[in-house]
Amino acid sequence: MILRTPLAAGHQMQLQLQLLLLPSVLLLVLHLLLCDAKTVNPGDGMQVQHHQMTAEPGLPEPRAYMPDAQHLDFVYHDHEELTRFLRATSARYPNLTALYSIGKSIQGRDLWVMVVSSSPYEHMVGKPDVKYVGNIHGNEPVGREMLLHLIQYFVTSYSSDQYVKWLLDNTRIHILPTMNPDGYAVSKEGTCDGGQGRYNARGFDLNRNFPDYFKQNNKRGQPETDSVKDWISKIQFVLSGSLHGGALVASYPYDNTPNSRLLKGICRSSALCAMFQTYSAAPSLTPDDDVFKHLSLVYARNHAKMSRGVACKSATPAFENGITNGAAWYPLTGGMQDYNYVWYGCMEITLEISCCKFPPAYELKKYWEDNQLSLIKFLAEAHRGVQGFVFDPAGMPIERASIKIKGRDVGFQTTKYGEFWRILLPGYYKVEVFAEGFAPREVEFVIVEQHPTLLNVTLQPSKYLVASGTSTSTKSSTVNRRVTGKLQLSPE
């Protein structure tokens, strides 16, 4: 329980938060932010240290990557080599990186996450958290290596690349290079197809191991997926990409379809299932389909080849503009991107970046050249749409307030500091805000292309609580029930 500060102090805090965000918007309009480090005191309340900012008009494209051969070559790195690289990078760039483990694989390998940001060790108020996850299928390691090179690019380019500096100054980037290190350990370089190494050490496909929106997933939870679920429950990620191999396409939710139950009842053999899936595959669209298509196109169009819709094999379909709805490609149950979106409002897409699952190492440099710009530009999309805070009348932030864009049934929640973000395309919107002990509120707002919209919402105590004399001086929290993927407020 956190006691409230006096009214004046609360308004002072609200003013500080608004002042913190205002320069950020102005600099996003100019597309450059140069700032010193900021600190948040995680003790009672919250303290924001102001800083000097300067801006220059226009941001050049990220420069071409020049590898530092002494520290990271274009080869595949086993788990020990990967660990050494991450530890050495963290030691070499302590002001830009922080290394932590979210858990261990079946065989005891750490699931390392590297934070790359100008404030790597603590969440900065108003700064969104984003993530990349690689190697969820152990025999698809191109993404694993691309993420290591992305880390290397960020830390070596921060002082010389203005776009990278802006991105790291305004975003906390969490990179999990390998979610399935055990599967990778038994995979074979040069194997373009097949399933050896795809699964974890217990034989589970980790991208079929998450709770599902459309049907109950009875597969036993695995340590790797349990670690990821715990990870994303603690950090309010705004945007995410999961890197795969075996195709060349950006795939977006939903991965599953309401017809999945029917198909299961019809199928009696793998051949029958394949036939029915072929004829029944149809788009399964989210309420944020426009946003997901946009995010997928950002990646595909900045990629050297993806947007051409190149088919990897003559027998496989080409993808228009290099993107596809997941279920329209083929339905699957228990996928990670649907779980991120439905349960936590995180906009995740699946990035298939190599036709060959495990191509020879000499091709890695070309894969990096193809994906470098896409990997960077995709993360910058976290700064599109609406962002702001939810306050009580005293100006104190309301944690776990439930937020939903009207007409878009999948909602999200505020952080412990009352923050929220939502990626939206230009247009007119209405946001619905709920919090236990407060009267619900609707607010209209406009999104423009040039910069994110700042929106602070103040909730008033509910009339029932005021009439009954119930105190609302303690921090409120929302009871968020996910029954159908929608945010539902529990009855008082």
Summarised one tens digit per residue, pLDDT across range 386-435 is 999 999 999 999 999 999 999 998 999 999 999 999 999 999 999 999 99
Pairing between β-strand 247-252 and β-strand 323-325 as defined by DSSP bridges:
parallel
Together in a domain, 17 and 108:
no
pLDDT on residue 466: 52
Together in a domain, 304 and 452:
no
Together in a domain, 168 and 179:
yes
Compute the mean pLDDT over every residue in the chain, rounded to the nearest whole number: 83
pLDDT on residue 471: 44
CATH number at residue 197: 3.40.630.10
For 49, the domain range is 7-57+384-489
pLDDT on residue 465: 57
DSSP code of 136? Answer: S
Residue 150 has pLDDT above 80, yes or no: yes
- Assess if residue 309 is contained within a domain: yes
- Assess if residue 67 is contained within a domain: no
d(CA 391, CA 90) in angstroms, rounded, equals 36
When pLDDT is averaged across residues 148-152 and rounded to a whole number, the result is 97
Sheet order of strands, 172-176 included = 97-104, 110-116, 172-176, 129-134, 237-244, 347-354, 247-252, 323-325
- Assess if residue 69 is contained within a domain: no
Last residue of a domain, one of 349, 383, 417: 383
Residue 357, helix vs strand vs coil:
coil
Helices (H), 235-388: 260-266, 270-280, 289-302, 326-329, 336-344, 364-380
Together in a domain, 219 and 320:
yes
d(CA 371, CA 306) in angstroms, rounded, equals 9
Strands (DSSP E) found in 85-194: 97-104, 110-116, 129-134, 172-176
pLDDT band at 4 (very low <50, low <70, confident <90, very high): very low
Number of domains in the chain: 2
Residue 229 has pLDDT above 90, yes or no: yes
Q: Other C-beta atoms within 10 Å of 448: how many?
A: 10
d(CA 67, CA 368) in angstroms, rounded, equals 10
Together in a domain, 379 and 396:
no
Residue 267 has pLDDT above 70, yes or no: no
Summarised one tens digit per residue, pLDDT across range 172-218 is 999 999 999 999 999 999 999 999 999 999 999 999 999 999 999 99
- Assess if residue 329 is contained within a domain: yes
Residue 15 has pLDDT above 60, yes or no: no
d(CA 273, CA 86) in angstroms, rounded, equals 43
Last residue of a domain, one of 383, 418, 436: 383
When pLDDT is averaged across residues 259-278 and rounded to a whole number, the result is 48
CATH number at residue 397: 2.60.40.1120
pTM of the model: 0.81
Together in a domain, 255 and 141:
yes
Give catalytic residue positions.
Answer: 352
pLDDT on residue 316: 77
